[in-house]
Structures are given as C-alpha cells and as structure tokens.
Amino acid sequence: MAQQTVDISKKYSLDEYILIDETGNERHEYYYGKLIAMPGETLLHNEICAQLLILLKSILPKGRYKVYIENVKVNIEGEEVYVYPDIVVIQSQPKVDAPHKEYIIYSPLLIVEVLSDSTRKYDLTDKFIQYQKISSLQYYLAVEPQKQLVIFYEKDDSNNWIAKTFTALDETILLPKLYASFTLGDIYEAGV
C-alpha cells in the first residue's frame, strides 16, 4: 500500500487517519481531524520504555492485564482525540463495536509517558488534561529519563487526581487497583 502524504491544513476523518498512520513512516496524534506528527525518540527513551514494559509485565497479575508499548493509540473518551502514550495497561477492550479497536485502546487503567525535552511540557499539561477525561484511567506516570524522577498521578475515590513525586531509588510506587507496586530502583537500576 502506498504511503499517504499528510496535508497539515486538511481535516481528516478517523478512517483516513488510521490509514495514514498504518501505512506511513511517521506516527501522528489526532486532534479533531488535524494530524500532529510525533517526534522521534532517543535511545535512552526507548530503553526506559522497554524496562517499564518488562517491569509491568512481571509485576501485574498474570492473565489479568495487557501491557502495550509506544505504537498503540488511546482514544480520549468522548472526544475526537487519539494520542500515543509510551506505555498503556488495560484489562480488556470494550465489548461493543468501537471503531478501529484493533488499533485503538478505549479503556486504559495506567498510562506512562517517558518525558523528553520536546514532549515534557505537552505530556505534563495538555496531554494530561486530555487523559483526565478517560473514566477508566486510574494512574498516570511521567518518567524523567535523565534523572531519577517520577511524577505519579493517582485518581482518588472522588475522581480527583493526586500528584506525588518520587526521587529516591528505594521509594515504592503503589498501584493498589492493579494489585502491584514497584520501586524507583526497579526502573533506574536495571542497566538503563
């Protein structure tokens, strides 16, 4: 299939967006018909994502959750917005016929973004504002690759988001709704 050329002035349908992203060499986020190109990633960014994938697969109860990395889209609930998180944990996809559910996650429980100079502000503000609209989402982690720092957001029982900052390798990040926990050292001491 031929690669699609993106016209940044055009509004695309969801079907056109899926076709462009699945046949092109570049990933895009979708914001009400507009396509926004995603920047490339550093080797360190990729190593931390891989470490987090391995870590989450090892600590989450077997067979209960699925963990996806980088190349899956998440729909912002109730919006015509589709974004690419670095790591996504789900329990299951919706049983109803959601459009393109073979490419798009509709009910994330945990989202992780590994920050970079080009995405830090977007990941911590605009993207997090969008993520808060997803009713299933319980946890959001923003991980700094260059230093030992994780900003952890957890939704409480009143649907308010509580932020905690972790900087010590022996500090434990609790994910009680996923029956799991890990330390900062599990991310940063694994040879990345």
Mapped onto helix, strand or coil, the DSSP state of residue 36 is strand
- Cα 51 versus chain centre, distance: 15
**pLDDT score for 177:** 96
- Residues 6 or more apart whose Cβ sits within 8 Å of residue 58: none
Res 71: pLDDT: 85
Please identify every stretch of the chain with a pLDDT value under 50, giving residue numbers as ranges: 1-2
The residues, any chain, with a CB within 8 Å of residue 64's CB and separated by 6 or more, are 91, 179
Domains of the chain in start order, with CATH, are 1-38 (no CATH), 41-188 (3.90.1570.10)
Q: What is the pLDDT of residues 6-54, one digit of tens each?
A: 887 899 999 999 999 888 888 899 999 999 888 788 899 999 999 999 9
* Residue 120: partners with Cβ closer than 8 Å, 6 or more residues away: none
The pLDDT of residue 1: 43
Query: Which amino acid type is present at position 77?
Result: E
8-state DSSP, 164: E
pLDDT, position 37: 87
Give the pair of three-digit tokens for residue 94.
Answer: 């919706």
User: CA-CA distance, 39 to 8, in Å (whole number)?
Assistant: 15
Residue 136, both tokens: 């299933």
Query: Closest Cα partner for 89 from 169, 167, 179?
Result: 179
pLDDT the model gives residue 94: 66
Provide the 3-class DSSP secondary structure of residue 127.
Answer: helix
Q: Are 121 and 92 in contact (CB under 8 A)?
A: no
3-state secondary structure of 182: strand
